[in-house]
Chain A
Amino acid sequence: MRLAILDGGHGLGTKALFALIRAFSRQDVLDVIKLVKYRPEFYGGPMQGVTHEAMRGPSAWLVGDRELMAAVVARANECEWCTRAHTAVAEGAYGDRAKVSAVLTDLESAPIGEPLRATLRMLRKLTTGHSVDADDMRALRAAGVSRAQIEDALAVSFAFNTTARLADAFGFTVPGPEAFAAGAKYLLARGYR
Chain B
Amino acid sequence: MTDVSRAREALVTRILEGDGRASPAQRRAAFAREGLDEPLQTLVRKVAEHAHRVTDADVAAARAAGLSEDQVFELVVCAAVGQASRQYDAALAALRAAEGT
> Which residues from chain A sit less than 8 Å from chain B, CB to CB?
2-6, 9, 38-39, 41-43, 46-47, 49-50, 53-54, 57, 77-79, 122, 126-127, 130-138, 141, 147, 150-152, 154-155, 157-159, 161-171
Which 9 A-B pairs give the minimum distances between C-beta atoms? A165-B80, A137-B98, A161-B84, A134-B97, A168-B51, A46-B11, A165-B51, A134-B98, A53-B4
Instruction: Give the most central of B10, B11, B97: most A CB within 10 Å.
Output: B11
In the complex, the answer to whether A166 meets B76 with C-beta atoms within 8 Å is yes
Please report the total number of B residues contacting A with Cβ < 8 Å. Answer: 47
Instruction: Give the most central of A130, A161, A165: most B CB within 10 Å.
Output: A165
User: Quick check: is B38 within 8 A (CB to CB) of the other chain?
Assistant: no
Contact of A5 among B20, B56, B73 (CB under 8 A): B73
Of the A-B pairs whose beta carbons lie under 8 Å apart in the complex, a sample of 28, sorted by A's number, is A3-B69, A38-B73, A41-B14, A42-B20, A43-B11, A43-B14, A43-B15, A43-B77, A53-B3, A53-B4, A79-B51, A130-B90, A131-B90, A132-B91, A137-B94, A138-B98, A154-B91, A154-B95, A155-B4, A158-B85, A159-B84, A162-B81, A165-B47, A165-B83, A166-B51, A167-B51, A168-B51, A169-B80
In the complex, the answer to whether A134 meets B10 with C-beta atoms within 8 Å is no
Q: Which residues of B contact A77 (CB under 8 A)?
A: 51-52
In the complex, the answer to whether A132 meets B90 with C-beta atoms within 8 Å is yes
Q: Which residues of B contact A42 (CB under 8 A)?
A: 14-15, 18-20, 74, 77
Residue of B nearest to A45 (CB): B14
Residue of A nearest to B47 (CB): A169
In the complex, the answer to whether A6 meets B73 with C-beta atoms within 8 Å is yes
Q: How far is the CB of A193 from chain B (nearest CB, A)?
A: 11
In the complex, the answer to whether A131 meets B51 with C-beta atoms within 8 Å is no
In the complex, the answer to whether B83 meets A161 with C-beta atoms within 8 Å is yes
Instruction: Give the most central of B4, B10, B81, B99: most A CB within 10 Å.
Output: B4
Residue of A nearest to B85 (CB): A158
In the complex, the answer to whether B83 meets A57 with C-beta atoms within 8 Å is no
Contact of A50 among B4, B79, B80 (CB under 8 A): B4
In the complex, the answer to whether B80 meets A166 with C-beta atoms within 8 Å is yes
